[in-house]
Amino acid sequence: MINLRAVMALIAALLPMAAWAANENVTTFELENGMQVVVVEDHRAPVVTHMVWYKAGSADEPKGSSGVAHFLEHLLFKATDNMAAGELSATVAANGGRDNAFTSYDYTAYYQRIAADRLGLMMKMEADRMENLRLTPENIETERDVIIEERNMRTENNPRALFGEQMSAAQYLNHRYGVPVIGWMHEMQTLDLDDALNFYDIYYSPNDAILVVAGDVDPAEVRTLAEKYYGVIPAEPNLPERVRTQEPPQTAARRVIFRDPRVAQPYVNRSYLAPERDAGDQKDAAALTILAEILGGGTTSYLAEKLQFDTQVAVYSGAFYSGVSLDDTTFDLIVVPGPDVSLQQAEDAMDAALSSFMKDGVDAEQLERIKLQLRAQQIYARDDADGVANRYGAALASGLTVADVQDWPDVLQAVTADDIMAVAKKVLRIEGSVTGWLAKPVEAGQ
């Protein structure tokens, strides 16, 4: 018989020993205009990831202008006072690099991955579009058509995406997380030059930005370059405090049934309002992270055992939680029913499995195995400079600190079975949930 504890001990011994306690080599400082700078040294390859994160995402948009943060992300690739439209990306490509940008609820980020000796050039161009964007009515018209087509392609033509929007809207009655990042179609169609410039003028400012540089760099040289290119940009004196409307106490279970003839595979989705990782207080988020792995982290998870193998009610089950969020996030469950199993039967089986888990509690060997897996993932993730830069940028833009990022692995390892059961009782409340069915249309006579 295989001794699982002995196997896990052997795996632990084979992992890089210094890496268990080590962390990234990080230097932080702040420019006089308020711009935060994070430098992560990794001298194994002569390349660098250069990122600018703005602490402004779709949840910071004015009501009635949903989608403007993502719209502006597109517009930042247009002309500036010193660059032609598309020149930044063309320059990056000509120098053997790659670049892109992305928008989320809590931030908008722009990045380049390029040879380390081109870092100054990247800062020069990125700083230029932070301050000198030059938009025209023609830019607005053409790029608005682009984002509308993007919504058509990614959302309107995808019943799962439409279902997800309805789930979020039902979960968040008062918070802007209930509005899709790309925006509602009817509001996207009205976005104009003033919408874009107003958002740009306020939020695209050094005191609302985080510069993350990861790779083959020297912190002193990064500081010199950052002061030269970013440090000369004036701070925005009217930057508003980052205050958002919050959710009232959720006291009633909510339901969504979304039917669409394009649905190939119906499924049940349950979301619960859940706490995020907070600066200096990540214990509950760590317990929820491990709870998601226990319940639905693969074929050895609790839901897989109960629903896929014991009863064969489902062909797939999963649990998902991401705590990097400025405000309350969600803990999600998905169950895909097997052949001839109704959505109601799948939901009932899911509820029975959750009830059983609350009685059974946490299996000690499974908890130990998950902790080992998480530790290994975190160690090997340090080999991905892009991933490292993203991890620090997303965390800081969501209200966390460098210390929180570096403490996170140890916070996860300190989670106990009692911590997990306590947070499960607090979060897995039907009154704080939305249960959704993605289904095919009901046929006549049913």
**Which residues are the active-site residues?**
73
**Of 343, 358, 344, 330, the residue nearest 424 (C-alpha):** 358
**How far is Cα 38 from Cα 29, in angstroms, rounded to an integer?**
7
107/57 Cα distance (integer angstroms) = 4
For residue 287, which of 435, 423, 115, 133 has the smallest C-alpha distance?
Answer: 423
Paired residues of 269 in beta bridges: 334, 436
d(CA 27, CA 381): 19
Q: Are 215 and 383 in contact (CB under 8 A)?
A: no
For residues 63 and 366, what is the distance between their CA atoms, to the nearest angstrom? 45
Q: CA-CA distance, 223 to 371, in Å (whole number)?
A: 37
What is the rounded CA–CA span in Å between residue 44 and residue 261? 52
DSSP 429: -
Stretch (H or E) spanning 26: strand 25-30
206 neighbors 233 (Cβ within 8 angstroms): yes
